[in-house]
Amino acid sequence: VLVQAATRGDGTTGEDITSNVRTIRAIPLKLHGENIPARLEVRGEVFLPQAGFEKINEEARRTGGKVFANPRNAAAGSLRQLDPRITAKRPLTFFCYGVGVLEGGELPASHSARLLQFKAWGLPVSDRVTLCHT
């Protein structure tokens, strides 16, 4: 079950953005499958695809609202909204890329195998991942 979501902040303490993250359709509120750890801190990136960014800015221009300089600023601003309903209206998505804390379970040793495990549990992982053998 999704318990908490936070920004990276200063590297030690981040801002609690749980209520906003719960509105992002790409982020599962509960993992599914087998061997799910008791506690899993997932690292990833919330982002706004270019088409969504353009749509938000078109709407802002039309209504006299705030126009964002780039998709990164739009995503960050969306996550820091005081009203989760505003965040819910924005086409944010998420990719998981790593783990911070793991308790009561195990993960595969290799990064690529971990990404496959995350995907099996329902966490979104980029489809542009390539395993290179050297």
Q: What is the pLDDT of residues 58-71, one digit of tens each?
A: 999 999 999 999 99
Query: 134 pLDDT exceeds 90?
Result: no
The token duo for 47 is: 């982002």
The alpha carbons of the chain give a radius of gyration, in whole angstroms, of 16
Residue 99 sits in a domain of what CATH number? Answer: 3.30.470.30
Give the pLDDT confidence score for residue 12 in this predicted structure. Answer: 82
The answer to whether residue 57 is domain-embedded is yes
Span 31-49, average pLDDT: 96
Range of the domain at 112: 18-120
Tell me the pTM: 0.88
Residue 9 lies in a domain: no
What is the length of the chain? 134
Q: Do the domain assignments include residue 134?
A: no
The number of folded domains in the chain is 1
Q: What pLDDT is attached to residue 9?
A: 86
Residue % of the chain over a pLDDT of 70: 100
Tens-place pLDDT, residues 91-124: 999 999 999 999 999 999 999 999 999 999 999 9
- Which pLDDT belongs to residue 121? 97
Q: Is 12 a member of any domain?
A: no
What b/e sequence results for 1-32 when a residue is b if at least 16 CB atoms lie within 10 Å of its CB, and e otherwise?
eeeebeeeeeeeeeeebeebbebbeebeeebe
Spatial neighbors of 133 by CB under 8 A, at least 6 apart, are none
pLDDT at 16 over 90: yes
> Is 85 part of any domain?
yes
Going by pLDDT thresholds of 50, 70 and 90, the confidence category of residue 11 is: confident
Assigned domain for 11 exists: no
Look at residue 27 and tell me if it is in a domain: yes
Structure tokens at 34: 């087998």
Provide the pLDDT for residue 92: 98
Chain mean pLDDT for the chain: 95
CB neighbours (10 Å) of residue 78? 24
